[in-house]
Amino acid sequence: MEENKISIGLDIGTTKIVAMIGKRNEYGKVQILGVGKSKSLGVHRGVVNNITQTIQSIQQAVNEAELSADCKIESVTVGIAGQHIRSLQHSDYITRTNSELVIDEDDIDRLINQVHKLVMLPGEEIIHVLPQEFKVDGQAEIKEPVGMYGGRLEANFHVVVGQVSSIRNIGRCIKSAGLDLEGITLEPLASANAVLSFEEKEAGVALIDIGGGTTDLAVFKDGIIRHTAVIPFGGNVITDDIKEGCSIIEKQAELLKIKFGSAWPGENKENEIVSIPGLRGRDPKEITLKNLSKIIHARTVEIIEQVYLEIKNYGHEEQKKKLIAGIVLTGGGSQLKHIKQLVEYITGMDTRVGYPNEHLAGDTDKDVTIPLFATAVGLVLDGLKRFEKDINEKVEVKEVDNTDGEENVPEPEPRLERPGFLDSFKDKLTEFLDNAE
């Protein structure tokens, strides 16, 4: 068994593309070996809209990661987000033919496959089917029905849906960049794995990942994912507003936001002024910090209110569904000054900024554990989980072969993990891309 299998996460964002290489150390923590980052040019609001530029950006990030880790990258785990992602709740049931036998994995597979047959809008594909809780013969709130007796098995599902063409475009970019697709993961889920602790997921928590083009939300309660959403606004719209409001170019607007921006307009005095050099011989522009933070505040409030609406849609106001651990902010947008205070003010929920160090080794470079890299770290974790699952299956199959050879013992069936739908979707996607050549 290969001890130190490395995993590569590729976060294709609207503002940046990050390739991150990691492996497990002897203590079971994840060690980051290398990071590559490039400016993302062909992505708008989380969706690829220029294949050629995206391929170049991917190659640039991958080359940089290869240099810093001194190894070759062949396959990647990629994140999917974008405004086409939506989620819905669905209940379904099966009636078992023989209620004398206990419920096994096949029954759950049958139930999950039934959900996959749901009719979606044209051009949409189910990405994840996540069971919430099961009911056996009307007995509710069962987390693990395997091994129980019952005739009717039903479950509530959290179903995540996305646009086929957008997923295929990402597949096309990765293939054209000379890489294999190891797996696809929903970005809010990846960020959540990197940033949240088990206790928070148990108590109830909303993870808000404020990226450049989109803001992703994942809500957990009782350790189970309850709600996901992708809102098509992020840090870029704030930069655009500054650009328009102050009549300056984008590069200057971005710098202003990072250096002097604040989400809380009461902070600055009227007389605090930043002078920005004019274009080509024009006079410099003077911008008051008060005005700057008013612009940022207005747009940030809008983003937070949209996210809060999604949290309310989940049902946070019901006593049973209350999110005790509040909100965790991550992503580049969580670095905006005073955004924590603003979120607490609007939602009335406890808020902290989340750093992706939950599963990383203690000596990890501080440059890696910034909220900006939360999704990439989550994708690395996801790739490692996939690999470890495959290894366990192979080991279990090997152990079966140790018969003494005298008697013909029938080999027990290897206990295979249920393949996630994304894995079969990945195979379909690879096949599709191969045929399209």
* CATH classification at residue 224: 3.30.420.40
Residue 415's pLDDT band (cuts 50, 70, 90):
very low
Mean pLDDT taken over the chain: 88
Produce one character per residue of 175-193: b if its CB has 16 or more CB atoms within 10 Å, e if not: bebebebbbbbbbbbbbbb
pLDDT at 28: 87
Backbone conformation region of residue 273, classed left if phi is above 0, alpha if psi is from -120 to 50, else beta: beta
For residue 279, what pLDDT band results from cuts at 50, 70 and 90?
Answer: confident
What is residue 412's three-state secondary structure? coil
How open is the CA angle 314-166-41, to the nearest 5 degrees? 105
Within a 10 A sphere around the Cβ of 358, how many other Cβ atoms? 21
- Collapsing DSSP to helix, strand or coil, 22 comes out as strand
Instruction: Please give the pLDDT value at position 411.
Output: 42
pLDDT at 347 over 60: yes
* Whether residue 292 has pLDDT greater than 70: yes
Bridge partner list, 219:
206, 227
Residue 272 located in a structural domain: yes
Q: What is the pLDDT of residue 99?
A: 85
Query: Comparing 237 with 278, which gets the higher pLDDT?
Result: 237
Domain that holds residue 251: 197-353
Burial of 211 (0-12, 13-18, 19+ CB in 10 A): buried
Q: Convert the pLDDT of each residue in 15-59 to its tens digit.
A: 999 999 999 988 889 999 999 999 999 999 889 999 999 999 999
Confidence band, pLDDT 50/70/90 cuts, at residue 424: low
Q: Is residue 262 part of a domain?
A: yes
Mean of pLDDT values over 371-390: 91
Which of 92, 90, 226 has the alpha carbon at shortest distance from 153?
Answer: 92
Candidate from 190-194, 238-242, 427-431 with smallest mean pLDDT: 427-431
User: Coil, strand or helix: which one is 335?
Assistant: helix
Domain count, the chain: 1
Could you give the 3-state DSSP secondary structure of residue 16?
strand
Q: Are 62 and 73 in contact (CB under 8 A)?
A: yes
Q: Which of 45, 47, 55, 14 is nearest to 164 (CA)?
A: 47
Whether residue 18 contacts residue 43, with contact meaning beta carbons closer than 8 Å, is answered with no
pLDDT digits 0-9 by tens, 94-149: 999 988 899 999 999 899 999 998 888 899 988 888 888 999 999 988 989 999 99
- For residue 134, is it within any domain? no
Please report where in the chains the tokens 């794995």 appear, as a residue.
193
Segments of 388-437 assigned E as strands: none
> How high is the pLDDT of residue 150?
92
Q: Within a domain: residue 88?
A: no
Q: Are 9 and 380 in contact (CB under 8 A)?
A: yes
Which of left, alpha, beta for 350 (phi over 0: left; psi -120 to 50: alpha)? beta
Could you give the CA distance from residue 321 to residue 309 in angstroms, rounded to a whole number?
15
